[in-house]
Amino acid sequence: MRSAVVVGAGLGGMAVAGALARSGWRVTLLERADRVRPEPTAVVLWPNGVRALRALGLGAGLDAIATPLPDGGIRRPDGQWLVQPRATPAERMPVVVHREDLHDALIAGLGDQVELRTGVGVRTVRAVPGERPAVGDGRHTFEADLVVAADGTDSEIRRQLAPETTVVSSGCAAWRAVIPWYRAPQLPADQSVHGETLGAGYRFVAASLGERGTAGASRRGGIYWVATAAGAPRPEPPEIQLALLKRWYAGWPAPIATLLEATDPADVVQQEIRELRPLPRAYGFGVGPGGVVLLGDAAHAMPPHLGQGACLAFEDAATLAGLLRESRLPDAVTGYDRLRRPRAATMVRQTRRMSAVLQTRGRLALRARDAALGTISPRMRSTAAAAAAAWQPPS
């Protein structure tokens, strides 16, 4: 029986661990935290991410927890439309999923062939000719035919195998929250939850998770929002951070103030936005009879402006699982590198273009951006959406 060690029990790590186990692999899943727990927020999945989950055999579970996300348009802080809402073809419409629901679906997909070990912080990587790859935490060594580094932006495995890559700040921070339906405000009929508002270095996006009253055993519902602001993360406690958000977004179009007022400080999750520059020179490293691959944020951490982080991680998982079903292990590692590096580079390039638009500062630059946004943003988003939608799992 072939064996794999997957380092990191995030979305991508759990997805690939379950897929390998269902293909007959013996899998050890290592997580540095003492418990595997998701953020109480949500994630947007574009059609490529949905397609990847279906290729991984998780489509049925996704259908029960996903909510279609229509185009809500883009407004200025004074309420003026920069980009009017547009009808989106079903095949290009993203969905939004509560992270806890998605986590539950991925946990259910692990089955009984995955050994999950928590509290294991990988510190060493063995990648030498003639020996099977292995990782260690200073106490134990975990050897396998394949090592999958899904250990996030601060991946220790990537640091040792691709030292040319560094983690840098993207110049902004994000705050996310889900207001559960029992606390969510009743909005007037003329106020849509869905939509994006864009200011000078500030951005606010909101979406509904299902319909009010539809939450149940298989779905957590509510209103999901994301606020992004230029600058470093705030060191203050959540109560003060939420008060700052209310001040920063005061006077912005409804229902932003209403949503922030309905948010409990315990709902808010702050995140520094960071990325990899340059991207690793390789995503697959042949080692002895097997190899090591980089997956998810360990391979291509990027700003979230196009919502492709989780989608690319699921693409990675589906690509690797597909290649391992059809190819010898060394060939699968080589094929994974050949397929994933250009794909990740394309999406990172699209994300950085959008990042430059969203983080425009200065009165004259903002005026020029707003005047052109009605043309630039739809075209840029359409290009990015087409690039994302073009992905297919390996046959």
Cα(111)–Cα(174) distance, integer angstroms:
34
- Structure token pair of residue 278: 């340059």
Which one-letter DSSP state was computed for residue 84? -
φ/ψ bin of 259: left (φ > 0), alpha (ψ from -120 to 50), beta (otherwise)? alpha
- Structure token pair of residue 119: 């509290």
Residue 160 identity: Q
Q: Count other Cβ atoms within 10 Å, centred on residue 85.
A: 14
- pLDDT for the residue 375: 54
Per-residue pLDDT tens digits for 251-283:
999 999 999 999 999 999 999 999 999 999 999
Per-residue pLDDT tens digits for 308-355:
999 999 999 999 999 999 999 999 999 999 999 999 999 998 888 777
Query: In 3D, which of 316, 271, 313 has the Cα closest to residue 41?
Result: 271
Query: In 3D, which of 116, 134, 227 has the Cα closest to residue 173?
Result: 227
Query: In 3D, which of 333, 271, 347, 366 has the Cα closest to residue 4?
Result: 333
DSSP codes joined into one string, 107-141: HHTTTTSEEEEES----EEE--TTS--EEE-SS-E
- Structure token pair of residue 64: 């029960």
Partner residues linked to 226 by β-bridges? 176, 205
- pLDDT for the residue 25: 96
Is the distance from CB of 6 to CB of 15 less than 8 angstroms? no
- pLDDT for the residue 373: 57
Q: Count other Cβ atoms within 10 Å, centred on residue 18.
A: 27
Is the distance from CB of 202 to CB of 143 less than 8 angstroms? no
Return the CA Rg of the chain.
Answer: 21
- pLDDT for the residue 91: 78
- Structure token pair of residue 275: 């990325």
Q: What is the mean pLDDT of each run of 10 residues along the chain (395 residues)?
A: 96 98 96 96 95 94 92 92 86 92 95 93 95 97 98 98 97 96 92 90 94 69 95 94 97 97 97 96 96 98 92 98 95 97 93 69 54 55 70 83
